[in-house]
Structure 1
Amino acid sequence: MKKITAVILAAGKGTRMRSQLPKVLHEVCGSTLLECVICSVQKAEIPRIIIVVGDKKEEVGESLEGLPVEIVEQREQLGTAHAVIAVKERINSSADIVLILNGDAPLIKPRTLKRLISINNETAADVVLLTARLEKPKGYGRIYRDKNGSIAKIIEESEADGDVLAINEINAGIYAFKTKALLEGLSEVQPHNKKGEFYLTDIISILHNKGKKIEGIEADDAVEVLGINTQQELAIVNKIRHDEILQGFMESGVTIVDTGSTFVENNVEIGAGTKIYPFSYINKNVVIGRYCRIGPFAYLESGTKVSDGTVVKSSGKNGKQVF
């Protein structure tokens, strides 16, 4: 059985967030962006996870306490390839396949990561990368294919001209590399772009020019690959994840009277037959039994456990919960 290591890149400054909080520590439905990505990797049954930290590494490191991950520091933020070089010694002889993904894409699904790994296992591909097609691909690197339709390179938007900018197939920033091919590509990456950074995307053209096999698979749903660089994008992703959570509960037999005024965070359990009334907020790590009545105007803090058949509502005067 092949040894697989996941490397999550979480060293960036995230200046466009306009926040003192590290970008990967902003939250989507009660979980940090980084926690969401780690959770998906764990559910994809990848046993070893390495987190590359850089900017505000102490804060990011503290957020990871208790999680089964390794932390490696990227001392200078010189690009994504430079971040992967920081873990080179850890993967050199201990991994057959390296899954690389960004720490700011919280909607990625475990099944998609499993699919990447499976194709890498089943084919002779040196790298399998995830792509998506967006109506408005602004901000993403474009997938450039040769005349045979094979992926030849990834062109970052900052380096692209008009024709390339018209391409709507984008790079999701998620790759499953054969370790040997990854290390070979890293050794040849040069900072020839406008920013003087070492781009991980350059490895694709390096491997293509060497005649290596590159496979691309398109995400089943483009929202999976949405990355977050601004507060506006964070709000969009929060809404998508919020809708996913409520949809999942309704499919399991929970009644949500008004999805627009009900908010449920990640890692919540609600039993079938329970009814959630408007203006209720349920924090993460709450367990609610079957046939309960929650709200209206209920607020359940993390760690709350509600037994089967319980009615939870606001007292009205001071907002105190009544069970």
Structure 2
Amino acid sequence: MRNAIVLAAGKGTRMKSETSKLMHPIIDRPMLGYIIDALRAVHVNRIVIVVGYQAQSIMDAYPDCEFAMQMPQLGTGHAVMQCKQLENEQGQTVIINGDGPCIQPETLENLFKANENASCTLLTSVLEDGAHYGRIVRDENGDVQAIVEAKDCNEDQKLIREINAGMYCFNNQDLFKNLHLLQPNNKQNEYYLTDMVKILASQGKKVNGIVIENRDEVMGINDCVELHKAYEWMTNRINTNWMKEGVQIIDPKRTMIGKDVVIGHDVVIYPNVEITGKTVIGNHVTIYGNSTIQDSIIEDGACIDNSKVVNSVVQKNQKVGPFEFKNGNGLNIKNV
């Protein structure tokens, strides 16, 4: 049994927005949507989203998930305490922050597998400077003994370069049987989920730490500057993958392609093009600059020239544009 808890209750004050931070879009969906997609890709059975600020907007957007309310918000450990619907489940539970949309299914799969014979496995990263991140304290055998939050580090611990990447996989029963041991004995007066590592290690249970190679994959988003950084990371990853598959993207930095888009071979995409939604691009297609394609099928040999195509089918060898707006009025491309 695979479960997941997504922490999504905070306001995200540094976004300076009335909208929940996790509902801010990247390319063609809210940042939270990428995390849900990744969890679904590794066959998580139950996804519980911990909500608080603007809770209804999140619940309306993801009705196929489960929810737990955290009001007031007294830390990450307190957030997990609210997920009472999982306390009798067996198997493993991943806990992830809702503001980390770059996480990939392969990393989640590695996390689940690494925890098959452990009580807890956490992702870590090695930095030149640990800065404001929690430090990983290991014993002489390399097993993780504790995570010490930056605000609570002594001088020696501040020198540790391995930091907490903020993603965990727990044996679900070990997690819920020990949540009551968390105490708000810290400068924030909050219940830290990170304290669970020390609790489990003190009981002789195995705690793993696996280093993630690409630190950007677990970047957290706190403001619009970091939101843009995540957008750049995603678009670069998507566009690079398509170019490796033979798609000629003239200027990748000025091309936006959604993660669900499918593209054939011998396709040329000029600058200032946006392709999003469930769009399928056939073979030998040319898409000239300043074009937008959303939830459409572009058949083999077609040409889109400085136009907008929405919910439509562009037939084989057909040319659209320049300066056209083709709208299929709600066409469900899944049924085409």
**What is the SS of the residue equivalent to 2:235?**
helix
Letter matched to residue 65 of structure 2? V
Shift of 1:28: 2.0
The answer to whether the 8 A contact 1:312-1:322 is kept is no
Deviations 1:26-58 (A, max 9, x none): 122222111101111111121221111111101
**2:310 paired residue number:** none
Give 1:1-323 correspondences, 5 Å limit: 3-65=1-63, 68-87=64-83, 89-121=84-116, 123=117, 125-300=118-293, 302-314=294-306, 319-321=323-325
The answer to whether the 8 A contact 2:134-2:164 is kept is yes
Shift of 1:170: 1.5
The answer to whether the 8 A contact 1:295-1:313 is kept is yes
Give the distance between the partners of 1:27 and 1:135, measured in 2 at CA.
31
Letter matched to residue 74 of structure 1? Q
Using structure 2 for the length normalisation, give the TM-score: 0.88
Letter matched to residue 80 of structure 2? V
The answer to whether the 8 A contact 1:5-1:95 is kept is no
State the Cα RMSD in Å.
2.1
Shift of 1:15: 1.1
The answer to whether the 8 A contact 1:314-1:321 is kept is no
Give the distance between the partners of 1:91 and 1:179, measured in 2 at CA.
8
Kindly tell me: are residues 286 and 42 of structure 1, through their superposed partners in 2, closer, same or farther at Cα, counting changes over 3 Å?
Answer: same
Give the distance between the partners of 1:308 and 1:167, measured in 2 at CA.
56
Deviations 1:161-219 (A, max 9, x none): 44333322111221111122112331100011111111100111111222221111111
Give the distance between the partners of 1:241 and 1:247, measured in 2 at CA.
10
**What is the SS of the residue equivalent to 1:52?**
strand
Deviations 1:38-89 (A, max 9, x none): 1111111212211111111011112213xx31122112211111111001x3
Kindly tell me: are residues 321 and 153 of structure 1, through their superposed partners in 2, closer, same or farther at Cα, counting changes over 3 Å?
Answer: same
Structure 2 residues without counterparts, runs of 5 or longer: 308-320, 328-336
**What is the SS of the residue equivalent to 2:88?**
coil
Structure with the larger RCO, 1 or 2 (CA within 8 Å, 6+ apart): 1
Letter matched to residue 297 of structure 2? K
| Matched residue count | 315
Structure 1 residues without counterparts, runs of 5 or longer: none
Give the distance between the partners of 1:70 and 1:321, measured in 2 at CA.
39
